[in-house]
Amino acid sequence: MGEIAEETRNMVRGLLTKLSDMRADLTWRINNTYSNGIDNTVLEILIFESNHQTGRIAFQLEDGHVINYRYKEVEKQLPAQIMDVLLDVISFEMTVA
């Protein structure tokens, strides 16, 4: 895995940890949904509250491009980058808390 992809993965995990620290009942997991083994890896973030799925974000690891997402009432704005979407989710949770 390239250095940029590893940095993206670490930043995503950091923001997801911040999100779960804000909400005790919130959990998440990251699945690798596609990889051609060369330069295209698609990851999917699943977000749960009390074991009920409340969000799904699919993005390309190498450049952070979000393919599709949904999270509660957060307004979808594509094209987007993974960091922007996660910051929007954190902002949303801060305003409803």
Q: What is the pLDDT of residue 37?
A: 75
pTM of structure: 0.90
Coil vs helix vs strand at 84: helix
What's the pLDDT at 1?
Answer: 55
**What digits encode the pLDDT tens for the residues 34-49?**
888 777 899 999 999 9
Domain extents for the chain? 3-92
Q: How far apart are CA 92 and CA 10, in angstroms?
A: 22
Mean pLDDT, residues 3-17: 90
Distance (Å, whole) CA 17 – CA 11: 10
The string of pLDDT tens digits covering residues 24-79 is 899 999 999 888 877 789 999 999 999 999 999 999 999 999 999 999 999 888 88
